[in-house]
Structure 1
């Protein structure tokens, strides 16, 4: 039910704010991808600022150190969302003399930076859990504070899944990494609520034990994302599905016998494709050149990638 709500609310925001078709599950158009990333960033920034302000006000009204500390943690998530926003903004810069293929890989750098920040948060989680375990002290706070913490966690989990949904839609690791920052905030709120409740029954270390487990998960997730970002910066093997689409587009033209040596170079939103196309040997030079241009245009229309076709005549026996 919660997942369905995530899907519906995400589609509603895409339709109403961006005027895009929410049924499109894989968006490759650079401009549309950028709009989706901006939507995630601004929803995250506004959501975190509002939630942090509410926590801070209630923290002072209720004299709750737990709420005030959690407000600071929530406010810090604004930084990661700002990295996403700036990353996509700079990655949209046009090609220049030094960067003829554009600046799309700044996306991967943004994802790497957020992943490293996530690892740092994980270690901080572990450190605070260790200190709380040694202190073995009662956590101050009322049941009302605990209830608000849990409500806050539900909202942050919505933000996390919202970011994941958009990240999957545009295949952006930076958005997935940002989602995990939302999730760590949700987990932190749950742990504080658990600590408050269990402290009233004398179980002072239970949240510290949970904190250790959660910190390990966060560090592992951040490490995985950092590895994935580095792998993309170095250059990964292209997806078979995209190769299939390229071949399918080329083979849809009469006169094309075979397609091979398909190479895809990933520059974030921009991708460069080169392919060898075996053509009917009866085609003259002009016809072969015209066919190559038609194939390139179709690939660019379907996949939003720049394509370069190398034509080869079919061998005759």
Structure 2
């Protein structure tokens, strides 16, 4: 588990460096040329770097082992970090929206050259490689914060495509399209932020994570199990917990019943790679329901 978090931290440090390179390239050039959409895109990329730092802090805390005050571990700090990343996205979206409205009131003509297109295309290539790498590593390491951060970075691609359209419009003599594209950028950022919050709220609110009937069907395949019910699942990617009631023969020796509970736990952990803990409550099966599957 510690090695997993160390890998996550190394990835976030690499992504942080690349995001800062992209951000400063856009901000400096956008400010010098007066191109609002490129400057806005640059600040969005800069907040990608801030989100990387939040992800690093969250992963450092999440890597701590369980203690007296946190008997279930610190995994949810990674989820909290993901929510903070989303909140940063929403803030940046608001700022871009406000600045775009100001541009409508005080119009100015941005300077657009061939270098403008080279800057935005070059940074797009970096963003594309970063988001693919980070998303794949997030899936491989079962990391919520890497996936959330990759979605944050992926929104840069959509934003940058919009900036290219904006630069082309200004070059063709339609400067008002620059703030219009900036408005579109703000809505794309809002959507990405809301998506991250929605996904991570499932973890924070302990929403059910796995299909109950599927779990029961698997458990019924364990020798000695006569039924199962009160199945509950919660947690997030890389740390899902299951508790359930399992029915066994009422006259079964305690040692044999305990062995069944152990087999159920081992089987579920093998079947679901995100499951880290299974609590099995054993119950005597009634004669009428000894051969009946229960899932309620």
Query: What is the TM-score normalised by the length of structure 1?
Result: 0.75
Note the C-alpha offset of 1:196.
3.4
Q: Alignment partner for residue 159 of structure 1, among 113, 130, 155?
A: 130
Change (3 A) 1:196 1:315: closer
TM-superposed deviation, 1:301: 4.3
SS, match of residue 226 in structure 2: strand
Unaligned runs of 5+ in 2: 289-296
Q: Indicate conservation of the 8 Å contact 2:241/2:276, yes or no.
A: yes
The equivalent residue for 2:233 is: 264
- Matches of 1:118 and 1:69 in 2, distance apart? 12
Whether the 8 Å CA contact 2:138–2:147 is kept in 1: the answer is yes
Deviates more, 1:90-99 or 1:45-54: 45-54
Aligned position for 2:170: 199
Distance 2:174 2:235 in 1: 52
CA shift, 1:211, in A, is 2.0
Asked if residue 239 in structure 1 is aligned to residue 210 in structure 2, the reply is yes
Alpha-carbon distance in structure 2 between the residues aligned to 1:52 and 1:221? 18
Q: Which of 270, 286, 310 is the equivalent residue of 2:255?
A: 286
- Stretch of structure 1 that moved more, 110-119 or 210-219: 210-219
DSSP-derived class of the 2:55 partner: helix
Contact kept in structure 2, 1:147 and 1:193, CA below 8 Å: no
Residue of 267, 275, 285 corresponding to 1:298? 267
Q: Distance in 2 between matches of 1:141 and 1:37?
A: 39
Distance 2:162 2:105 in 1: 17
SS of equivalent to 2:207: coil
Partner of 1:214: 185
Per-residue deviation at 1:163?
3.3
2:65 matched to which residue of 1? 94
Instruction: Indicate the residue corresponding to 1:312 in structure 2.
Output: 283
Question: Aligned to 2:96, which of 125, 139, 148?
Answer: 125
Contact 1:262 1:275 in 2 (8 A): yes
Maintained 8 Å contact 1:250/1:259: yes
Cα distance in structure 2, aligned partners of 1:237 and 1:275:
13
| Higher mean displacement: 184-193 or 97-106 | 184-193
Output aligned runs, 1:58-207, within 5 Å: 59=29, 64=33, 73-169=44-140, 172-207=143-178
Deviation at 1:203, TM superposition (A): 0.5
User: Cα RMSD (Å) of the superposition?
Assistant: 3.2
Give, in whole Å, the separation in 1 of the partners of 2:226 and 2:141: 33
Once the 2 structures are TM-superposed, how far is the Cα of residue 122 of structure 1 from its aligned partner? 0.9
Instruction: Please state whether the residue corresponding to 1:194 is helix, strand or coil.
Output: helix
Distance 2:232 2:13 in 1: 36
Contact 1:139 1:195 in 2 (8 A): no
Relative to structure 2, which stretch is displaced further, 148-157 or 64-73? 64-73
Q: 1:193 to 1:238 in 2, by over 3 A?
A: closer
Q: Cα offset for 1:210?
A: 2.1
TM-score (norm. length: structure 2): 0.80
Q: For the residues of structure 1 that align with 2:78 and 2:43, how far apart are their CA atoms? A: 27
After TM superposition, give the deviation of residue 32 of structure 1 in Å.
6.9
**What is the Cα deviation at residue 230 of structure 1?**
3.2
- Contact 1:101-1:267 at 8 Å conserved across structures: no
Unaligned runs of 5+ in 1: 1-29
